[in-house]
Copies of this chain bind each other. A is one copy, B any other.
């Protein structure tokens, strides 16, 4: 099945292929009266945009968004918001090779196995270009949750992690890696550049923290806030896992070590730790909502890898085109967008049932 809608009451439906004329998203269920225009969306797309430095793919896409519906005189009307981004740099290259051979680690074989045919130009629908649509929708979602601040950053590249002691939020946009640790950013420059030059690729871990989420968002049992975040993050291209709070680390703690004691506070409880990542029983607790997301190294590498053709013959595939040496970097704005989309949906779901 094709299933291109995300969300329960605040919903987005995305469409478009890597090398089609355009891609886009329809945002439905947005509250009316919010100030919205292209300028409110564009900065988020610019953050995800390729070709901005040597550490990302050299495909050059302006990713200029157009608002086609749902906004009148600068305000959302409550009707569906259609956002479109035209593809401009679909380099006219020869796709005959990729048309025949499956790129290992990519979705080529899986799409063919499922649908019996595929748009092989740049990965078609399975391309990470689709995430531009999510980022655009995420910009709208942010307007729905002004009480929340979302911050994602890269915490690790190629196994080289930041030092939490060096964490400086202001540093994140100072380097091309969304890295909050200036020292790590300096190290990564060489690391990523080496991978780029050698046609290799590196994995990364992105962390995302949402502060200002009030206690009470989340829809147990099968739309728990953490379950929806897990789905949202795992669905991003190249993501292979999700952690909430201490995640896998919690499995190594005792109940005493993992405790989240509560104290009396002025506005609800004050918490002494946040092992749980701001979510208990699938419902937000008022603490920061914290998740961690690993991105695999892209399978697009210069080294030949064994594969097969559509006809079942063995072959080798190597990627000579434009690619990201570390897709996790450009995944960072996408993680933020998915966090915003999940939270906006849950804010509306909560007030549907409880009324505030």
A269 touches B308 (CB 8 A): yes
A41 within 8 A of B: no
Q: Which of A100-108, A164-172, A173-181 contacts B (4 or more CB under 8 A)?
A: A100-108
Inter-chain CA distance A262–B79, complex, in Å, is: 25
Nearest-neighbour CB distance to chain B for A141, whole angstroms, equals 14
A295 within 8 A of B: yes
B15 touches A26 (CB 8 A): yes
A234 touches B240 (CB 8 A): no
Nearest-neighbour CB distance to chain B for A326, whole angstroms, equals 10
A146 within 8 A of B: no
**Cβ contacts under 8 Å, A21 to chain B:** 66, 68
Smallest CB gap from A352: residue in B: B352
Report A254-265 CB contacts with B as 1/0, cut-off 8 Å: 111111111110
Nearest-neighbour CB distance to chain B for A31, whole angstroms, equals 5
A200 within 8 A of B: yes
Q: Which of A57-65, A109-117, A182-190 contacts B (4 or more CB under 8 A)?
A: A109-117
- Number of chain A residues whose Cβ lies closer than 8 Å to a Cβ of chain B: 153
Tell me how many chains of this kind the complex includes.
4
Smallest CB gap from A21: residue in B: B68
Indicate which residue in B72, B228, B246 contacts A117 across the interface (CB closer than 8 Å): B72
**Cβ contacts under 8 Å, A247 to chain B:** 240-241, 294
Report A72-96 CB contacts with B as 1/0, cut-off 8 Å: 1001011111100000000000000
A264 touches B308 (CB 8 A): yes
Q: A4-B28, A105-B280, A227-B230 are in contact. List 19 more A-B contacts (CB 8 A).
A: A2-B79, A2-B80, A5-B13, A9-B349, A16-B68, A22-B69, A24-B68, A75-B117, A107-B220, A107-B282, A109-B215, A114-B215, A158-B252, A200-B254, A201-B255, A224-B235, A241-B242, A255-B301, A258-B297
